[in-house]
Amino acid sequence: MTWTGFPTEGLGPAVWQGGETEALARLDKHLERKAWVANYERPRMNANSLLASPTGLSPYLRFGCLSCRLFYYRLWDLYKKVKRNSTPPLSLFGQLLWREFFYTAATNNPRFDRMEGNPICIQIPWDRNPEALAKWAEGKTGFPWIDAIMTQLRQEGWIHHLARHAVACFLTRGDLWVSWESGVRVFDELLLDADFSVNAGSWMWLSCSAFFQQFFHCYCPVGFGRRTDPSGDYIRRYLPKLKAFPSRYIYEPWNAPESIQKAAKCIIGVDYPRPIVNHAETSRLNIERMKQIYQQLSRYRGLCLLASVPSCVEDLSHPVAEPSSSQAGSVSSAGPRPLPSGPASPKRKLEAAEEPPGEELSKRARVAELPTPELPSKDA
């Protein structure tokens, strides 16, 4: 790649081989698992699934090396042969529909990848924090789970879809309160399978800016990773500075006694950064922030929000059904992800009659001008 002028320093061996021949070979290998394909319903995330798989298809769908129509008909032929299969929205066929869903949602909306002028996006007053954004993008947040994911993304151009959920939530409504637009740009630069419609749509989804409103669900940057990979081998692979930490402390190295840090030859605050935020406090404040924004929005849209919002949910034992942050409808190493039963909480009801589009857009514009909600003090 040196002849292209692209910087290659720090890059490892290529994980993905391009071309249609490789794409078709991967498709054949993927569909060999007939029982798995026919009965697929939910993703299984474990330490092994965090690494790129030889059957991953998302970059090939993105670049047209693999036709989504061919994938669909090959899948349909398999369904007919086995005569018993899972059904949309949780089936593999249902996952392909996600890609088409976001393509459709982006139709005739040239501002689909930004907040201003985007008629389907809630105008949330995000903070401008270039320093926090840079630390997130470079994998220097001080949270090993987040930093390992962003390091893998930068080195390999791919990360598991639930890993995408974790870092997207962390950047936006979970911890840093930085606009999803910034996340779109970083993913668009680094992801091999980045797709205009799917990337932007998924970021709006995960930031609760559109499609999904359960803002009280939050991915914990410690607990989620620990349940996925208790030993911490994934972190050791991508953050070698932390490789000597015991598994007990590898997700929270700042809690390790000084003696253990010295033994690991990694002093927190010197060799590896301290956490950029206090997750327990920040996520709780951000949930309250989102709650107030949605309550203000409901005055304009006639929506009855949840009567009560749970306190901060530190992690998701069964991750909320959200599309991949870059390639909904494609197949990653762990298989596609689950689909939501609907864009809003089942407890939420639409009370107002549908209004003319012009009036609706006018109201959304007024919401954009609402002041930032006043947050409670730490002593509240």
Q: Establish whether 40 is an annotated binding residue.
A: yes
CB atoms near residue 175 (< 10 Å): 28
Q: Establish whether 188 is an annotated binding residue.
A: no
Q: What is the CA radius of gyration of the chain?
A: 21
The C-alpha angle 204, 205, 209, rounded to 5 degrees, equals: 50
Q: Establish whether 194 is an annotated binding residue.
A: yes
Q: What is the DSSP letter of 380?
A: -
Q: Establish whether 97 is an annotated binding residue.
A: yes
**Is 217 strand, coil or helix?**
strand
Q: Establish whether 175 is an annotated binding residue.
A: no
273, two tokens: 């950064």
Q: Decide: 163 and 319 in contact? Cβ < 8 Å.
A: no
Q: Establish whether 95 is an annotated binding residue.
A: yes
Q: Establish whether 297 is an annotated binding residue.
A: no
Q: In sequence order, which ranges of the chain are alpha helices (DSSP H)? A: 20-31, 34-39, 58-62, 68-82, 92-106, 130-137, 144-156, 161-169, 180-190, 196-206, 223-228, 233-238, 258-263, 279-301, 357-368
Q: Establish whether 70 is an annotated binding residue.
A: no
Indicate the burial class of 78 (C-beta count within 10 angstroms; 0-12, 13-18, 19 or more): middle
For residue 345, give the nearest of 311, 320, 323 by alpha carbon.
320
CA dihedral over 142, 138, 121, 372, signed as positive or negative: positive
Q: Establish whether 31 is an annotated binding residue.
A: no
Q: Establish whether 226 is an annotated binding residue.
A: no
Q: Compute the distance between CA of residue 150 and CA of residue 114 in angstroms, rounded to an integer.
A: 22
For residue 312, give the H/E element and its range: none
Tokens 């206090």 correspond to: 278
Please give the C-alpha separations between residue 78 and each of 31, 33, 68, 69, in angstroms, as whole numbers: 8, 10, 15, 14
Q: What is the DSSP letter of 349?
A: E
Q: Establish whether 162 is an annotated binding residue.
A: no
User: Pairing between strand 349-350 and 303-304?
Assistant: antiparallel
Q: Establish whether 101 is an annotated binding residue.
A: yes
Q: Which residue ranges make up the annotated binding site for FAD?
A: 40, 95-102, 193-195
Q: Which residue ranges make up the annotated binding site?
A: 40, 95-102, 193-195
